[in-house]
Amino acid sequence: MPMSIRKFLYEILKTINEDNNIALKETKRKEKNMHTSWKVELGKKIRALRESQELTQSEIARSCGVDSSYISKIERGVVTPRDLIHDLARYFGVPTNELYASKRTSLVAKYGRM
């Protein structure tokens, strides 16, 4: 017995909906990865600056009024230091926008101790 038009249209719409759900999940995954990689890269820059200036996490933490474990989390990309980004930039003597720059090595070369 042939499929009814109603059932046929239902199957088409169901397939389209499933494809859209898959695409939406993929987009969300990519956005999450972009956000995560940004946090990790920012943390690496902060660690590179700290190490180039021969500072400890405790020294930075005291200056910024936070616990050293928070600085560790920032450096590992676990948290985003939205509330501290200006304090960290000021502490390292770096313009805030430089922390968002794509090249970590140039940042250390400009602002780290040689």
Domains of the chain: 5-111 (1.10.260.40)
Average pLDDT rounded to a whole number, residues 78-107: 80
Contact 105, 49 (CB under 8 A): no
By C-alpha distance, which of 54, 52, 45 is closest to 88? 45
Average pLDDT rounded to a whole number, residues 72-76: 94
Please, what is the end-to-end C-alpha distance for the chain in angstroms?
Answer: 82
Q: The whole model's pTM is what? A: 0.61
Question: How many residues in total does the chain contain?
Answer: 114
Q: pLDDT above 90 covers what percent of the chain?
A: 28
Q: What is the pLDDT of residues 76-90, one digit of tens each?
A: 989 888 889 999 999
**pLDDT level of residue 38 (50, 70, 90 thresholds):** confident
